[in-house]
A and B are shown apart, each in its own frame.
Chain A
């Protein structure tokens, strides 16, 4: 009889596999944004979550330098605490329990502990991380060499005692850039840096709005601003829809409304040829101040779901913002790339119903007034353009928020549904749409508008109708 023997097989990760797999799931822009997230998390730790005024981050900055010879990000965001550097910051993924200990009660966005490593591996094979941590007595440096990238060791050398920079912060330098990355960082060869600047201005809009400054190759990046039309007086008329609740320990607040007047038919025709203004429409989703989705017009944010129409240029005026905040990072609908949403997240699933409810009010309004947009000017004149957060705050602080029956008081769900105007029903208007040969339209243009160049077909249509109506009415009187 054969006796049983036991042994072990290798089941650990291969470093090469890890490195190549992690970097495939993220694009370069998002990898760099991850590094900026680390800066902001550093600020949160230094401020201990206390935000004294509207610009709590005004003293903090990050400077990115990117060119074909290397990438550097330097900040004054308090640095990496030595203990964190030694025990977890350079690990691939945060060890169990550490996340709660480091960032307890803070509204950070670094949750998985892979952002910095993934960004480094994405860009090149050599890296130095220098940190001068706030409140500690010495700076340190960790180096990643091309050899380390190739071997199977999971430990990195750390050195202490070097001279300290004037700021408490971190400087991360990547050299030995991969060819494709170096090309992206070459301003003469690629517009990547332009795209990166746009992404920073969008995805860091809220954080920069709180005073954080970001420089890319020494140029200051300005945040985009999401604005909405807010009523001068909160009365029936144009106003945003607002919802707020505390779902699964996530403070959820959403506001959707018009960011501008309804687009005229002529503007929509031009937009269809060359979309410009549409870029500013849609939903922006923010998790702990970090924009994770910017001006989205897809089903993820309710467009084309249930009874909400799909996005179309006629909805160019609609814009919305959802703000999720929580000290429990895993309760936020964040993905590892922080681009897009974790669609299984409870707060998101609940919020989506109300995003759709709000959105539908404004798509309905747009449809109701289609073809008679000029009649809405008066209603829009009662509003002013303000930052979306301010538009929401005005309503949230009013006594107009009502309890959401379905969700009840348990989650403190409240909402404001605007009373958007309806067209007068007494003499309703109907829309006529038809297509005719261009040459025939030109004949009419010459007839109705002699000597006027480039008359819009819609104007010719209106004039034709008026003339026909005139004839018909005259004949009826006979």
Chain B
């Protein structure tokens, strides 16, 4: 089962990541208005991100792609705004036909989100990402989400040592990433861990992005944010980058003030983890009522419950909640 079957409003980590994406776009908006930019993504059944991008920025050039005919039919039914085009096509077709699509949407710039859930075709996914980057122009934004779960690399066989498993899984992962595998990063089987896989994958995304701009000597590709979160089933890595004319880089950071945003990715080295706990309304109200009136340590110590039997891990989870409490989803049962 994949996380795709649960609406993401009910997956707090994913919800927070989406909020952070809108925050990032708000920053970019100061440099290049999102209103005039086309937004292309895989909107799922409810097209939630299209509602958001339209509501926040007034973007009208919207294209959702979907390969599943059943989901596509529901998208057409759920379409929140008339301007949204719901097209039945694969991500591969989007990339191959990207110029035709830009001809159709006629936007100055594009935000394209390749939201991959499957761990099976990472090489093809990175290939599509590279091809898309090749077709993007300066000031276009591209986001890629990939499955970064350790368990997608299998488990130790009966009698196999952890080290032997890691060596085997490392070779397998290397193979799966093909030419995008970051050979120069000095990685080895010790990186086959929950934290190591996203680092390898992020370096592979970097390689694909750089291959994508290899023909554009005056353009660079800058990572703007990188997050790792668990969507309920898998660890997902999501990286957003922008193509920038080299002469505009200083202007970009001055206008967007992204240097001051605490979640800006300074390089391609590692994602920021989002691992907030599931909280009941009562728990949230209790914590929020004490936040910033006391130290985080005090608030956590005074809780009559914890998030992990290990006190320090519990505190880490708590701190992550404190970081994102403003972005925490609040859902209530509603009658219709």
Shortest beta-carbon distance, B40 to chain A, in Å?
A: 14
> Do A405 and B99 touch (CB < 8 A)?
yes
A349 within 8 A of B: yes
A306 within 8 A of B: yes
Which A residue's beta carbon lies closest to that of B136?
Answer: A406
Which A residue's beta carbon lies closest to that of B92?
Answer: A307
Interface centre among B124, B137, B211 (most CB of A within 10 A): B137
Ordered by A's residue number, 26 sampled pairs between the chains whose C-beta atoms are within 8 Å are A306-B127, A306-B211, A307-B95, A307-B96, A307-B124, A349-B214, A349-B215, A350-B215, A352-B215, A353-B134, A353-B135, A356-B131, A357-B96, A357-B99, A357-B131, A357-B134, A360-B96, A364-B96, A402-B103, A404-B99, A405-B99, A405-B102, A406-B137, A408-B137, A415-B99, A417-B100
Which B80-102 residues have a C-beta within 8 angstroms of A? 92-93, 95-96, 99-100, 102
Which B93-118 residues have a C-beta within 8 angstroms of A? 93, 95-96, 99-100, 102-103
> Do B128 and A307 touch (CB < 8 A)?
yes
> Do A346 and B137 touch (CB < 8 A)?
no
Contact-residue size bin, chain B (C-beta under 8 Å from the other chain): 20 to 34
Which B residue's beta carbon lies closest to that of A408?
Answer: B137
Q: Which of chain B's residues have a CB closer than 8 A to the CB of A364?
A: 93, 96
Q: Which of chain B's residues have a CB closer than 8 A to the CB of A463?
A: none
CA distance A208 to B217 in the complex (A): 36
CA distance A417 to B102 in the complex (A): 13
Q: Which of chain B's residues have a CB closer than 8 A to the CB of A307?
A: 92, 95-96, 124, 127-128, 130-131
> Do A361 and B137 touch (CB < 8 A)?
no
CA distance A346 to B214 in the complex (A): 10
Contact of B99 among A306, A349, A356, A417 (CB under 8 A): A417
Shortest beta-carbon distance, A478 to chain B, in Å?
A: 32
Which B residue's beta carbon lies closest to that of A348?
Answer: B215
Shortest beta-carbon distance, B262 to chain A, in Å?
A: 33
Q: Which of chain B's residues have a CB closer than 8 A to the CB of A346?
A: 217
Which A residue's beta carbon lies closest to that of B123?
Answer: A307
CA distance A360 to B94 in the complex (A): 12
Chain A interface, number of residues (Cβ within 8 angstroms): 19
Which B residue's beta carbon lies closest to that of A364?
Answer: B96
Q: Which of chain A's residues have a CB closer than 8 A to the CB of B216?
A: 406
Shortest beta-carbon distance, A408 to chain B, in Å?
A: 8
CA distance A402 to B104 in the complex (A): 12
> Do B130 and A361 touch (CB < 8 A)?
no
5 A-B pairs with the lowest CB-CB distances in the bound complex, closest first? A307-B127, A307-B131, A406-B137, A306-B130, A349-B215
Which A residue's beta carbon lies closest to that of B211?
Answer: A306
Which B residue's beta carbon lies closest to that of A349?
Answer: B215
CA distance A323 to B137 in the complex (A): 25
Shortest beta-carbon distance, A17 to chain B, in Å?
A: 35
Which A residue's beta carbon lies closest to that of B100?
Answer: A417
CA distance A361 to B214 in the complex (A): 21
Which A347-406 residues have a C-beta within 8 angstroms of B? 349-350, 352-353, 356-357, 360-361, 364, 402, 404-406
Which B126-149 residues have a C-beta within 8 angstroms of A? 127-128, 130-131, 134-137
Q: Which of chain B's residues have a CB closer than 8 A to the CB of A357?
A: 96, 99, 131, 134-135
Q: Which of chain B's residues have a CB closer than 8 A to the CB of A405?
A: 99, 102, 137
CA distance A306 to B134 in the complex (A): 10
Q: Assuming A306-B131, A356-B131, A405-B99, what are 16 further A-B pairs, CB within 8 angstroms?
A: A306-B130, A307-B92, A307-B127, A307-B130, A349-B215, A353-B134, A353-B215, A356-B134, A357-B99, A357-B131, A357-B134, A360-B96, A404-B99, A406-B135, A406-B216, A417-B100
Shortest beta-carbon distance, B159 to chain A, in Å?
A: 34
B205-232 to A contact mask, C-beta < 8 Å, 1/0: 0000001101111000000000000000
Q: Which of chain B's residues have a CB closer than 8 A to the CB of A306?
A: 127, 130-131, 134, 211-212
